[in-house]
Structure 1
Amino acid sequence: MYRVIGTAKSRAFRVLWMLEELGQPYEHIPALPRSEGVAQVNPAGKVPVLIDDGTPITDSTAILTYLADRHGDLTHPAGTLDRARQDSLTQFLLDEFDAALWLAARHSFVLPPQMRLAAIKNTLMWEFETSQKTLAHRMGDGPFLMGPRMTLADVILTHCLDWALVARFPVTEHRLSDYLDRMRQRPAYKAAAAR
């Protein structure tokens, strides 16, 4: 059985949701970043950490990719054009959505107060809005990011859109708002959110 370390209010939510979508059993340990239990399996103290057969795997995207490849679901096969497109969208989300939200969080409450730059949030919000327009043009036809099939990129995008709303980064593209509403209705999303 997998063990997932990290609170559901962190990127660990992505892993919990992925495991729910895959129908895989897991144990959830809702540890905070840099807590003793986390530092034992990840010297950086970051969450999430997935433990599989005694081996810790860190970084939410690496974990999602591992799970998708291992279980042959929520991904396209390696070496295919669909996988290249999926990987491209995943990298776009990490570079343009996740990075902006994480940088805003760092300058809001993570960094020591004397290191925070409050004015950077305006720039990050502008970049986030611009990136939404780009992504709306890249989305496929269908209920999911790539069209008819859900992939791990959908897990990342939905989590980033949820995070954006909590951080007061407006979701300005109607296509993305509608998408988020649909994804939040998934039973696996609801099961992970209930944690």
Structure 2
Amino acid sequence: MYTVIGRANSRATRVLWMLEELAQDYEHVPAAPQSEGVVSFNPAGKVPVLIEDGTPITDSTAIIQYLADKHGALTFPAGTLDRARQDSLTQFLLDEFDAALWMAARHSFLLPEQLRQSAIKESLIWEFTNSQKTLVNRMGEGPYLMGRDMTVPDIILTHCGIWARVAKFPIHEPRLSDYLTRMTARAPLAKVLAMMG
């Protein structure tokens, strides 16, 4: 059985959702970042952490790609062109969406107050808006980012979309908005979102 450490309203959402999609049993420990239960497994104090056979794995993207590879689902096989495209999309989302949202969070409540730059959010929203235009041009024709198959980037983008709404980063592209509505209606994700209440 897997153990997932981290509150559901963090990047742990991605790991919990992946496990639900894969129909895998897991124990959820909703520990806060920097808490003793987190630092003992990840010295950086960041969540999520996945524990398997006593071995901690950190970083949500590394965790969900590992789970997808291990269970042979929600991913294309390594060494294929489709996997290269998938990994490229994953990196784009991390660079353009996750990074902007994380920077905004840092300057809103994570950094010491004297180091926060509140004005930075305006430029981050501008970047986030431009990135949506690029993303829409990269989206496949099917219901998911890469076409007919749901893959790791779908989990990352949908989580970023949820995060964006909370952080008041507007979604301007209708195609992206429709996609997020569709994805957030998935039953496995709804189960995870219910953990946040």
TM-score normalized with structure 1 length = 0.99
| AA matched with 1:145 | L
How is 1:172-187 mapped onto 2 (pairs within 5 angstroms)?
Answer: 172-187=172-187
Q: Which residue of 1 aligns with 2:26?
A: 26
Q: Which runs of 5+ in 2 are unaligned?
A: none
What whole-Å deviation, never above 9, does each CA across 1:29-58 have from its counterpart, x for those lacking one?
Answer: 000000010011111100000000100000
Distance (whole Å) between structure 2 residues aligned to residue 41 and residue 100 of structure 1: 27
Which residue does the alignment assign to 1:123?
123
Question: Partner letter of residue 107 of structure 2?
Answer: H
The code of the aligned residue for 2:57 comes to: I
> Within 1, Cα distance between the matches of 2:127 and 2:88?
18
- Supply the AA of the counterpart residue of 1:149: D
Give RMSD over aligned pairs. Answer: 0.5
> Residue in 2 aligned with 1:86?
86
Give how far 1:145 is off: 0.6
Once the two structures are superposed, what CA deviation does each residue of 1:113-132 show, in whole Å capped at 9, x if it has no partner? 11011111110000000000
- Which segments of 5 or more consecutive residues in structure 1 lack a partner in the other structure? none
Q: Which residue of 1 aligns with 2:153?
A: 153
How many residue pairs are counted as aligned between the two chains? Answer: 195
Cα distance in 2 for partners of 1:42, 1:121 equals 29
Moved over 4 A (4+): none
In structure 2, the residue matched to 1:71 is 71
Distance in 2 (CA, whole Å) between partners of 1:181 and 1:73 is: 23
Aligned residue for 1:165?
A: 165
| Cα distance in 1 for residues equivalent to 2:24 and 2:131 | 33
Distance in 2 between the 1:48 and 1:167 partners? 20
Query: Does 1:13 find its partner at 2:18?
Result: no
Q: What letter is aligned with 1:153?
A: P
Return the offset for 1:193: 1.2
1: CA distance, partners of 2:189 / 2:63: 17
- Residue 191 (structure 1) shift: 1.2
Match of 1:138 in 2: 138
Kindly provide the amino acid, as one letter, of the partner of residue 48 in structure 1: P
- Residue 4 of structure 1 aligns to a residue whose secondary structure is strand
Give, in whole Å, the separation in 1 of the partners of 2:162 and 2:136.
Answer: 17
The equivalent residue for 2:62 is 62
Deviations 1:85-110 (CA, angstroms, capped at 9, x unpaired): 00000000000000000000000000
Q: CA deviation at 1:194?
A: 1.5
Secondary structure class of the residue paired with 2:141: coil
Whole-Å separation in 2 of the counterparts to 1:47 and 1:67: 16
Distance 1:168 1:193 in 2: 18
